[in-house]
Amino acid sequence: MKTRLWKAFKKAFLALIRVPGIFLKAVLHFIYPPYCVICDAWTGDDDSIVCSKCWARLENE
Ligand SMILES: [Zn+2]
């Protein structure tokens, strides 16, 4: 019984870590919308909370 439960848990865990990254990203974007925190621009595929333009500006300052 215990082994069966462990197998079910392992299966669920393996299924979870095999979830495509894009799905996790979608969930993450739902929680943290991919908008730049500085200029409110859409950061798109960047996983950053700051858009590339603002990053460039910050790096140059
Ligand atoms: Zn920005």
Residue 14 lies in a domain: no
What tokens were used for 29?
Answer: 């974007």
pTM of the model: 0.44
Residue 41 lies in a domain: yes
Classify residue 51 as exposed, middle or buried by CB count within 10 Å of its CB (0-12, 13-18, 19+): buried
Q: Which parts of the chain sit beneath pLDDT 50? A: none
Distance 49 CA to ligand 1 centre (A): 9
Residue 5 lies in a domain: no
Q: How many domains does the chain have?
A: 1
Tokens 């799905």 locate to 23
Give the model's pLDDT for residue 6: 92
Residue 12 lies in a domain: no
SS3 42: strand
Residues 30 and 44: beta-carbon distance below 8 Å = no
Distance 57 CA to ligand 1 centre (A): 9
Nearest CA to 49 among 32, 36, 31?
36
Domain that holds residue 40: 20-61
